[in-house]
Structure 1
Amino acid sequence: MTAAGPGGVPTETPDQHGAYPRLTPEQLDALAQYGEYRPTRRGEVLFREGEPCEEFLAIVSGMVEVIHDYGGPDQRTVAVHGPGRFLGELGLLEGQTAFDTAVVREPGQVLAVPVERQRALVARDPALGDLVLRAYLGRRSLLIGLGAGFRILGSCYSPNTLRLREFAARNRLPHRWIDLEKDKEAEALLRRFGIRPDETPVVMWKGEQILRNPSIADLARLIGLPTSAHGDGEYDLVVIGAGPAGLAAAVYGSSDGLVTVAVDAMATGGQAATSSRIENYLGFPSGISGGELMERSVLQARKFGAQLTVPAEVTSLEPRDGRYALTFADGSEIRAATIVLASGVRYRRLDVPGIDRLEGSSVYYAATLHEANLCRMDPVAVVGGGNSAGQAVLFLAGYAPKVYLLVRSGDLGKDMSRYLVDQVTRHPKVEVLTHTEVRQVNGEGTLQSLTVEDNASGDRRELPARALFVFIGARPYTEWLKDVVALDRRGFVLTGADARAAADENIWESLGRGPLMLETTMPGVFAAGDVRSGSVKRVASAAGEGAIAVRLVHEHRAQEGNLVRGSSVSEPRSVPGRSVS
């Protein structure tokens, strides 16, 4: 809790994390042109946890307290803001419901700006935009660390619990997991709300809203995430996948004036969002977390008017009436003139005895802030020899007392960038074990140790570890595409010259050309990023391919005799006030 000042009024929270900056008088004046001043009264609730918040609120005078679980048994102060500070966090910009409640503690005045107008101003004012975005990103991280937001009540052995936890973590949604197997609070909550064991997992929010064994879409709707593409169902461009390649395609497509929607079955950001630190991305000399980079990309795409829909799993793609029809798992359908496949890859599971029962409770395939906070007291192990493993090791070493890196080969530099190799091998908390493979995981409710084997000598030993992080490569998410476009033997999408060799030449006769550089065996369907055969598995190259794919979309649309023609097909149109290099 924040310390109380005279009269019991909490004192203003210091800006120790860069999450609580002040607006300058000039910035307040600029905002005032788009909003209105309002008086506030003591005890007034400006916005409430679990409800939509549609205004950007800057404090002109008075004091506002931000509270989690307002009026509930776990009520606590998150922050106290005075004049010059502004309210809200990342969910405000992304259309989510509020994760906390703002209550006036000292009456005064606020400047209220509708979110859409505030977004437009931020887009035109880079200094203001960066100030707000950094603060909101910092506040979201603080909320996640506090365990704010909704609660997931479920067993660590339940696949449905794991599914909900993964969705929440991948979308950086503030939440707390209550393990039915270990948490003393769990049984009391089940009795209090009359929840039967077969109705778990349960999502609870504000002590009022209860979702029994919800789907991912149910949880998304509770938070305010769009779960289906909307409008008239007709798009110039549909991007399947919202990782670096997909988000880049959404940014460039929408900024070029194409009616664009990007959909993803799990989360915006893709695998890149799970990277704890990316240090070799151009323009960020001190590095940037994958989550922050992808959050910035999401906001940039929305700024240009792209729709982003999560979760939305595409199950089929087929030509129909001169366009492409896409069907989703929920039965809905949209149509598009062109498609960019950017569905990326999924992490490979480690196949060793005993691992299934521990996945989600102490075996993980991503190293985010949520998992790191569970590893402060015990040693952990990371399996893998690539950059994802190296980044995870360095991130976890900031929390756990000891991190073992288990590498199957004898050369750490074989698949890992040299800068990461140097940092990993020099870190005092990290021990690198080469020629080492996991043969068994040991523990019932949680991981206790690993049985590892030296694959050069055959010697086995037991390694103490309370969590295991696995980064052993990935497979493309293309099962649904195997009868749609040509794939290579590993399931990656063929494009360009490779696609031409596998394509039916009759399909291309009326165009008088073969597939363009990133085009698949279907005209107007392009592939970008990790899902593409022969791609460079790097965030920068994926983003570059997403941008290139949009350029090729324009080339395809300009072709006479376009095989996928619709009323919306036209030359690229400019949008006033927007420019993209």
Structure 2
Amino acid sequence: MRTPTADVYGAYPPLTDDQIAILRSCGQVQAVCEGEQLFRAGEPSEEFFVVLSGTVAVVEGHGDQEQVVQLHGPHSFLGELGVLEGQTAFLSAVVRTPGEVLAVGSAALRDLLSREPALGDVILRAYLLRRTMLAGAGTGFRIIGSAFSPDTRRLLEFAARNRLPHRWADLEKDTEAEALLTRLGIAPEETPIVVWHDYRVLRNPSNVELARVIGLRTETAAKAVCDLVVVGAGPGGLAAAVYGASEGLSTVVLDAVATGGQAGTSPRIENYLGFPAGISGMELAERAVVQANRFGARIDVPAEAAGLEQREGNSVVRLADGGTVTAANVVVATGARYRRLTAAGVERFEGLGIHYAATVWEARTCRLDTVAVVGGGNSAGQAALFLARESPAVHLLVRGGDLEHSMSRYLIDRIERHPRIHVRLYTEVREVTGEDRVESLIVEDNRTREQGVLAARALFVFIGARPATSWLADAVALDRRGFIPTGQDVAQVTADLWNPLARTPLALETGLPGVFAVGDVRSGSVKRVASAVGEGAMAVRLAHEHLGEVGSPAIR
């Protein structure tokens, strides 16, 4: 057994006697003996534990391979984010010295935390910190595969976007990976694989298969009939889920990739009301997910919407896996995705140094390296500041002649003062070069056409976005850029659809009755997290109006 290496699990101030007394109201005291497992990696996290006496070790692996990640004594609490979100445990908890623990069921814990916000904030902050630290330490399941495999890159992106602790073993570089494949009897051409706890092997699993194992996908949405279906789990979609479910609407949330949307990849949102020190996109997303779950919203990830139609006054969302969700109201919150860079070599290096998000998962691949960020908006500025924490140099490449046109003043001021961020205006990337990963960029001054080489081990791209509306096909009217017009903007071109209701479209309503668009996917929207959240909440009020006209599909 190895000794603890670092406080990876996230030490947090111990609970007070008053806080433990609150938890006792919905829990049970249990005597525990040495060697007893309180929870096991790979199994559902169904209980929250507080150590009353004795000690409990949180460990990774077992037997000779066991590593103690954290040792908990009296007044410490166990677990991490999976306890609140119904995921499987990524680590195990083993009693080291006998004593007593307080066990609280996860459902009872979620209910209690909504009634005791101060206690809830302590636990949630610790859980968010622990999840981030687990990811940074490379704990969790293993992905083994070649960096040049599209399926390897797909699995890595899915794990990163869903904030799942994992580590990657590159077949081309990691000798231990090859030895493990030999031990498991797997040929290199059968990779990528996911090695789950106790050496359970998933051979090139789909995102859906991996999600089911982890506990992200519950299959609750398939063939569901509800009051409200939300397509897209970014800030606007999660706001609609929270407000809809809290107001008694049966609510299903679908997202093709991960909760949080584009905002979930932001390392720091500093202009969101109520968070003067800023908040990471990950923390904002996880808080919203916990909140939506508590009110009874059903969240399925990944669940990709493939089409939309109306039948007998209801909206039917078709899923890519063949399922359907029928609802009186649909909130389309699929957002917009960053455009791909079109320079030579980009396609080859996507996932090998080219990234479209800048979170702790991407940053750990280029720690202490010189990097480049392309873009002149807030997302590019936030990424540059985040990466500059550890990178010796961050080059911010901007196509235009200034930052004022599209970046907030507070970000510009911080970037201009930062000694490791170098802003290069009138600069565009023409080629990405390297052997097995990004090593340098060919950049061009778009005024003089003069080119030069910029050494960088990673390239982060934030160059505008395109709306995620291809799944809608001809179901609703789109503007010339592919965004969804709503309210007054859509009334004239779709007037025939509104005759049965004898009214004009509601403020956020699209060209279909009871179908609303919020956030970045909506034509004319303000590209800010706060506005998306506001629109999500407003859409629920409008959904109530529509329900008053047509009734609930569950009772008709």
Q: Smaller-chain TM-score range?
A: over 0.9
Q: Retained in 2: the 8 A contact 1:361–1:446? A: yes
CA distance in 2, matches of 1:342, 1:204: 34
Q: Retained in 1: the 8 A contact 2:519–2:536? A: yes
Aligned residue number for residue 523 of structure 1: 513
The more displaced of 353-362 and 102-111 is 353-362
Change (3 A) 1:198 1:409: same
Aligned residue number for residue 33 of structure 2: 41
Change (3 A) 1:231 1:30: farther
Residue 418 of structure 1 and its aligned partner are, at CA, apart by: 0.6
Aligned residue number for residue 467 of structure 2: 476
- Residue 184 in 1 paired to residue 184 in 2? no
Residue 198 of structure 1 and its aligned partner are, at CA, apart by: 2.9
Q: Retained in 2: the 8 A contact 1:237–1:336? A: yes
> Equivalent residue of 1:413, what SS?
coil
Q: Retained in 2: the 8 A contact 1:69–1:76? A: yes
Q: Which of the numbers 24, 27, 31 marks the counterpart of 2:16? A: 24
Q: Which of the numbers 118, 121, 139 marks the counterpart of 1:130? A: 121
> Equivalent residue of 2:34, what SS?
coil
CA distance in 2, matches of 1:333, 1:303: 24
Count of aligned pairs = 556
User: Alpha-carbon deviations, 1:457-480, whole Å to 9, x = none?
Assistant: 111110010111111011111011
TM-score (norm 2): 0.97
- Residue 376 in 1 paired to residue 375 in 2? no
Aligned residue number for residue 391 of structure 2: 400
Residue 136 of structure 1 and its aligned partner are, at CA, apart by: 0.3
Q: Which of the numbers 269, 273, 278 marks the counterpart of 2:269? A: 278
Q: Retained in 1: the 8 A contact 2:222–2:324? A: no
Alignment of 1:13-92 (within 5 A): 19-71=11-63, 73=65, 75-92=66-83
- Residue 147 in 1 paired to residue 138 in 2? yes
CA distance in 2, matches of 1:536, 1:25: 47
> Equivalent residue of 2:366, what SS?
coil
Aligned residue number for residue 303 of structure 1: 294
Change (3 A) 1:414 1:19: farther
User: Alpha-carbon deviations, 1:74-122, whole Å to 9, x = none?
Assistant: x322111111011100011100000001011111000111111111111
Q: Which amino acid aligns with 1:522?
A: L
- Residue 224 in 1 paired to residue 215 in 2? yes
CA distance in 1, matches of 2:554, 2:346: 53
Q: Which amino acid aligns with 1:534?
A: G
Q: Retained in 2: the 8 A contact 1:21–1:135? A: no
Structure 1 unaligned regions, length at least 5:
5-9, 570-581
CA distance in 2, matches of 1:119, 1:497: 41
Q: Retained in 2: the 8 A contact 1:72–1:206? A: no
CA distance in 2, matches of 1:210, 1:308: 26
Residue 186 of structure 1 and its aligned partner are, at CA, apart by: 2.1
Q: Which amino acid aligns with 1:42?
A: E
* RMSD of equivalent CA atoms: 1.7
CA distance in 1, matches of 2:223, 2:319: 16
Residue 568 of structure 1 and its aligned partner are, at CA, apart by: 3.9
The more displaced of 238-247 and 224-233 is 224-233
- Residue 262 in 1 paired to residue 249 in 2? no
Residue 230 of structure 1 and its aligned partner are, at CA, apart by: 4.0
CA distance in 1, matches of 2:69, 2:410: 38
Structure 2 unaligned regions, length at least 5:
none
The more displaced of 333-342 and 367-376 is 367-376
- Residue 514 in 1 paired to residue 494 in 2? no
Residue 567 of structure 1 and its aligned partner are, at CA, apart by: 4.4
Residue 19 of structure 1 and its aligned partner are, at CA, apart by: 4.2
Change (3 A) 1:351 1:401: same
Q: Which amino acid aligns with 1:566?
A: P
Alignment of 1:69-468 (within 5 A): 69-71=61-63, 73=65, 75-230=66-221, 233-468=224-459
Q: Which of the numbers 517, 523, 540 marks the counterpart of 2:530? A: 540
Residue 506 of structure 1 and its aligned partner are, at CA, apart by: 2.7
User: Alpha-carbon deviations, 1:396-424, whole Å to 9, x = none?
Assistant: 00121111000000111111101101111
> Equivalent residue of 1:337, what SS?
strand
Q: Retained in 1: the 8 A contact 2:225–2:553? A: no
> Equivalent residue of 2:169, what SS?
strand
CA distance in 2, matches of 1:405, 1:450: 13
User: Alpha-carbon deviations, 1:316-337, whole Å to 9, x = none?
Assistant: 1111233222221111122111
The more displaced of 92-101 and 31-40 is 31-40
CA distance in 2, matches of 1:554, 1:410: 47
CA distance in 2, matches of 1:280, 1:228: 36
Q: Which of the numbers 546, 549, 556 marks the counterpart of 1:556? A: 546
Change (3 A) 1:18 1:98: closer
Residue 184 of structure 1 and its aligned partner are, at CA, apart by: 1.9
Residue 2 of structure 1 and its aligned partner are, at CA, apart by: 8.8
> Equivalent residue of 2:142, what SS?
strand
CA distance in 2, matches of 1:568, 1:422: 56
Q: Retained in 2: the 8 A contact 1:373–1:399? A: no
Residue 258 of structure 1 and its aligned partner are, at CA, apart by: 0.2
Q: Which amino acid aligns with 1:129?
A: G
